Amino acid sequence: MKFERLNEIENILKINGSVSVNDLSKRFKVSKETIRKDLDYLSSKKKIGRVHGGAYSFEYNKSVPYSARDKMLVNEKKEIASIAADLIDDGNTLFIDSSTTSIQVLKKLLSDGKKLKVITNSLTCANIALKNDNIDIYMIGGSLNKKNMSFKTQSPELYNSFNADYAVLSPSGIDVKCGITDKSASSSKMLSSFIKRAKHTLIVADHSKLDSVSAFSVSPLTEIDGIITDKINDSNSWQSAAQKYSFFIKEI
């Protein structure tokens, strides 16, 4: 019975991205303590990620809708955003992708009262801009991906005509050997252009993206300025890479 429950919990997470202890307790009609032990076991086997009150799938950034991702690791993303925002000056121009962590950086910058120009493919960024006079936004259009709240374009000229002070990005894969990678050909091309056309690049990502490799290459680690994350599992490897390739890596 426990084995079946563990398998089903894994399947639920792969579909929904995240789940709470309360929801699982009700679903399986077992105590919250039993669910906590189940999640701790799966986490110890590196099959899921554990957060206070629930768990998340390591594959959420590849398959889960924006609305679900936006509810995951919220406090961690806000702390990452706070560190990143301190590095960006009033009046800067930014490339921002459609990730939930990058959006948190934008929200923090605006809450600090900074005026910004933003180039993005994110529909969420556009909605934020409608309500804030401190942001001028330039949209990279294309077909709308409703699930991810972003525009997908196959036309490089739509983003190759812009330049920025900072690229604030959260790609799906960040690895010591393979560098920066992403889950689709179109997004990887756009992120690669952002990095090349920005003076500085900040990678803002929770720990589930570290030591992960996606299908499409974006850039080597030599082209970024820093990584800000909530937790580093293999600190020695990452500190060695940071020294070798001249970028900083900071843990909240």
Q: Identify whether 129 is part of a domain.
A: yes
Question: Does residue 208 share a domain with residue 117?
Answer: yes
User: Is 63 a domain residue?
Assistant: no
Tally of structural domains, the chain: 2
Same domain, 242 and 208: yes
73 with 121, same domain: the answer is yes
In order along its 252 residues, the chain shows pLDDT tens digits of 788 999 999 988 887 777 889 899 999 999 999 999 999 999 888 888 777 678 877 665 445 666 666 767 788 999 999 999 999 999 999 999 999 999 999 999 999 999 999 999 999 999 999 999 999 999 998 898 887 889 988 788 888 999 999 999 999 999 999 999 998 899 999 999 999 999 999 999 988 789 989 899 999 999 999 999 999 989 999 999 999 999 999 999
Kindly state whether residues 50 and 105 are assigned to the same domain. Answer: no
Cα–Cα distance for residue pair 43/232, rounded to 1 Å: 16
CA 21 – CA 143 distance, rounded (Å) = 37
- The token pair at 43 is 């986490």
Distance (Å, rounded) from C-alpha 77 to C-alpha 82? 9
| 140 and 230 part of one domain | yes
Specify the pLDDT at position 67. Answer: 65
List the structure tokens of 203: 């990678």
Which residues, 6+ apart, have CB-to-CB distance to 234 below 8 Å?
A: 176, 211
What domain range is 9 assigned to?
2-58
Distances from the Cα of 63 to the Cα of 58, 67, 70, 98, angstroms: 10, 12, 13, 14
Which residue, of 39, 58, 77, is where some domain finishes? Answer: 58
Same domain, 186 and 76: yes
Count of Cβ atoms closer than 10 Å to residue 71 Cβ: 14
Q: Specify if 90 maps to a domain.
A: yes
**What 3-state class would DSSP assign to 150?**
strand
Report CA torsion sign: 127, 51, 184, 225: positive
Residue with tokens 């709308």: 144
Residues 244 and 200 grouped into a single domain: yes
CB atoms within 10 A of CB 85: 21
- The CATH number for 100's domain is 3.40.50.1360
Torsion angle, alpha carbons of 146, 149, 152, 157, to 10: 150
CATH of the domain at 18: 1.10.10.10
